[in-house]
Amino acid sequence: MNINNNFKKVLITVISSIFLLNACGEEEQLSSVKAEVVAAKTYQWKMVTSWPKNFPGLGMGPERFSQYVNEMSDGRLTVKVYGSGELVPGFQVFDAVSQGTVQMGHSGAYYWKGKIPASPIFGAIPFGMTATEFNAWLHYGGGLALWQELYEPFGIVPMAGGNSGAQFAGWFKKEINSMADLKGLKMRIPGLGGEVFKRAGGVPVTLTGGEIFSSLQSGAIDASEWVGPYNDLAFGFHQAAEFYYSSVWHETGTNLEFLFNAEALAELPKDLQKIVEVAARAVNQDMFDEYNARNNIALKTLVEKHKVKLREFPPEIMKALKGYTQEVIAEQVANDADFAKIWTSYSAFLSSIREYNDLTLKAYYQNR
């Protein structure tokens, strides 16, 4: 890291002050000078992501974080954002942050289920919490502490990094009318949703966002979920599959994550640490707001302009998927102590807040 001119000036001040200190005020003056040095030091970070550079929604969250941090710190902390594949592949974001190759990353927690079986809880649980419910649990129900404890052995501090809200079931090349239509179907679907889809007879495939369109177009996969109308329109999936299923089941409120290298974060002065935390919270809400504003407009474009065939899964399929979800979660609880511990908190909070939302929002939606 190069020492900038301001820092050089402060350093000279420090050296000069050491010789000028009076014995009676030495400690107080040293503290004052040290504070000036801390305030003048600058930090340059790198952030890697699992999304294409500047991709709408998901990809803009990191960019806005960088902007907010730069502005609030008056340039003392700058963050350069790299899209998927620019520095590291999209699925290696976690490792890059853990190893200290970069100071931070932006991704989805369910991508790490191979090394951390409980991580999908902090991404998306089929038939689980909505975005507002999840944020409430995370920040006021103990979820964040459990998340940070889960990632601590890897030298990573996680924070919520945006939420895409309820996601569509996805794009299909053929119409889905029964469970038989899912048998052998190759579908891009990650996390626990992929495990459930496998129980239903499908073949889950894990791909980064940038690989989906070509895989659909070539026939390498028969179907794919991604996010929802706003992002799906941007990727042009309507040109590769004609049936679009809106049924929400696998990702009911998908949480994204900021990953911070623990040592890099600890090296920051307290005020910059707080700026990082506040910027992350701002992006978390901002992304959710943007998806709520953009999805409906994009859906109208897909249906009215591009003549996409909008469909819903029949009740038979939704019932079966819910049953398989319960089986998958029960197995995860039995096989992984971390999953069991976090699930106890998650499910208790969901049960409580669901009762309240059924009493208020569900009734309101019906009456409206």
Q: In a 3-state reduction of DSSP, which class is residue 340?
A: helix
> What pLDDT is attached to residue 11?
44
> What pLDDT is attached to residue 24?
46
Token pair in block for residue 111: 């991508």
pTM of the predicted model as reported, rounded to 2 decimal places:
0.87
**CA torsion angle 135 225 198 210 (round to 10):** -100
Count of C-beta atoms within a 10 Å radius of residue 280? 23
The CATH number of the structural domain formed by 170-253+294-332 is: 3.40.190.10
Rounded CA-CA distance 59/62 in Å is 6
CB 58 within 8 A of CB 253: no
CA angle at 310 for the pair 305 and 312, rounded to the nearest 5°: 165
CB 318 within 8 A of CB 99: no
Regions of the chain with pLDDT less than 50 = 1-4, 7-21, 23-24, 30, 33-34
Torsion sign (Cα): 222, 226, 229, 230: negative
> Which residue in 76, 77, 150 sits closest to 115, CA to CA?
150
> What pLDDT is attached to residue 40?
74
Rounded CA-CA distance 106/162 in Å is 10
Pairing of strands 223-224, 309-311: unpaired
> What pLDDT is attached to residue 26?
54
Rounded CA-CA distance 21/28 in Å is 10
Q: In a 3-state reduction of DSSP, which class is residue 326?
A: helix
Rounded CA-CA distance 269/280 in Å is 17
Q: In a 3-state reduction of DSSP, which class is residue 259?
A: strand
Count of C-beta atoms within a 10 Å radius of residue 317? 21
> What pLDDT is attached to residue 31?
52
End-to-end CA separation in angstroms for the chain: 58
> What pLDDT is attached to residue 12?
45
